[in-house]
Amino acid sequence: MNVRISTVLLVLTGLLHHSGIIRAEEKDAAALTKVYGEWCIRPRPDKGTEYRKLIEQKGLPLFREAGGRMVGWWNTLVGDLYEHVTIWEYDDMAAFQKAAEFLGHNDGFAKFVALRDPLLTGENNRFLMLAPFAEKPKLPESASYVIHEIHRVPLRNQEKYLEFMKKEGLALLKKHGFRPVGPWIVGIGKWTEVTYLFRFESLAEREQLIARFSNHPDHKTYAQILETVDEVTTRLLIPTPFTGARTGIDKQPSSPLLPTWNRSPGASMQPALQIVTIPQTAAGWP
């Protein structure tokens, strides 16, 4: 019984905690209600090209018709190399529900799912909300390289963490040339995750910005976030060609150093991920 009570209290505390963050600034009520669905999708190692074509030709039109607005669709260059990441904006959770119901009753989506599911080994998603002071994403994002960064912040530290980012952290990053999106906090998923996208036109630009910032006194001020953060995880993403954004490796050539790209169906490869069954539901549509 005590365990159940503690669990309920934790859930209530988390919900109240997020409500407090959202209510902290209500100048732009419409922006604060927006939610962002993030999907991490793992095509089979030899089906990446086929999956991208299916998404471009059949998936994107359906997702947009359902009311979603694409922030971006990326392949992983450093991280889980088999994984795609996509983020979509909705006006609120009611709009997402409407989109899910629309797709769930759409014959075209059912046919899309029948083609999509055999191409995948798995996927997962979560729903995010921008902090009231956050930098908003473009629709769609067009940067050539994106660092997807998650700060794992215990709930007891999140108010202090977000207050620092509001008053000093974001301003310091922008002062030194960084172009962040976020922070996003989690509405549905792991509440301890705070997410950013950092946009770069080249990896050389990223290295230069980091080097200059690291040698500036402001870096010590920004490093105060480490007092509230347990862990930081980053991955390097590049836009999938059908988004219209461009990098120097748009064609994603086959290479022993890039084992996930454009492998022929007969190529020998050990899958990096366990194959799981994916339910044919609208909630997991990308």
DSSP labels, 159-199? HHHHHHIIIIIHHHHHHTT--EEEEEEEEES-TTEEEEEEE
The number of folded domains in the chain is 1
**How do residues 220-260 score in pLDDT, each as one tens digit?**
999 999 999 999 999 999 999 998 776 666 555 443 344 44
Tokens 């962002």, residue?
36
**How do residues 5-42 score in pLDDT, each as one tens digit?**
332 333 333 444 555 555 445 555 566 789 999 999 99
CATH code of the domain in which 263 resides: 3.30.70.100
Containing structural domain, residue 41: 2-284
**How do residues 264-273 score in pLDDT, each as one tens digit?**
344 433 333 3
The overall average pLDDT reported for the chain is: 83
Q: Model's pTM, two decimal places?
A: 0.81
- Kindly report the three-state secondary structure assignment for every residue of 87-119: EEEECCHHHHHHHHHHHHCCHHHHHHHHHHHHH
Alpha-carbon distance of 38 to 124, in angstroms, equals: 8
**How do residues 152-181 score in pLDDT, each as one tens digit?**
999 999 999 999 999 999 999 999 999 999
